[in-house]
Amino acid sequence: MAASTAAAQPMTIPGAKPKKRSHLLSDILVNGVLVLVVIAWLIPVVSLVVSSFRTRFDIQTSGWWTIAPHSAWQTVGTIPVPEGVDRNGVMQIQGGQGTFEQFREGVQVGNTRLIWIGNRRTGTIQVQKQGLTTNTNFTLDNYKEVIGGKTFEIRKPDGSTVTVQGTDMLTPFLNSLIVTIPATLIPILIAAFAAYAFAWMKFPGRRLFFIMVVAMLVVPLQIAFVPILKD
């Protein structure tokens, strides 16, 4: 009895790792790689969706990720350019020193930044300070411009505005739907009917037709353009 009990016990090999641990490590590795692939695929998709609801000025001056809370310069006031400063040379404004080009880029004085808004002759000084902010200035103007063809005023980073005409892509968009929806549904329906017939129905030439279908799948679709485009 003791001999049979000892024979029934599984043998353990010294140094062998448990199977459960190896399976756990492989699952973690596979799932980790899949998560990275999903994140890498979602980032550009999310950026395009978010950017489609932002103004052109925000797209040109800040990243799409600024919709999340972040530290950035915020405008706290605007002051006129002091009289008597040499606008073609080095200027002293609110404790900041620099040329017109430097003030256009932004001159930092402690925790304050001074930015020249406008042109050299009639510009103003914008006072900014660091603070926590979110860039959630969402709008549907991009969709109205592209689909509706309306005109819009776009504010450039230098403060100037320009009026642009929309592209009016509503008709091409509808034409694309008219072409793509039947081109997708009709082949799927025909393929479903054919798959049901090959799977459950017996008829003469069934094997021959199935071999022909599989053989046609091997031929690249681009080959069909050769007889169509050939003179």
Lowest mean pLDDT among 14-18, 113-117, 185-189: 14-18
**What is the pTM (predicted TM-score) of this model?**
0.50
Any residues with CB less than 8 A from the CB of 154 and at least 6 apart, and which? 55, 56, 57, 161, 162, 163, 164
Q: Where are the domains of the chain?
A: 19-52, 69-133, 170-229
Burial of 125 (0-12, 13-18, 19+ CB in 10 A): buried
pLDDT of residue 2: 47
- Model confidence over 59-76: pLDDT tens digits? 888 888 888 888 888 888
CA gyration radius, the chain: 34
Measured CA angle at 152 (ends 146, 154), to 5 deg? 110
pLDDT of residue 228: 79
pLDDT of residue 152: 67
Q: What is the mean pLDDT of residues 148-168?
A: 68
- The better pLDDT of the pair 210, 141 is held by 210
Place of tokens 């052109």: 56
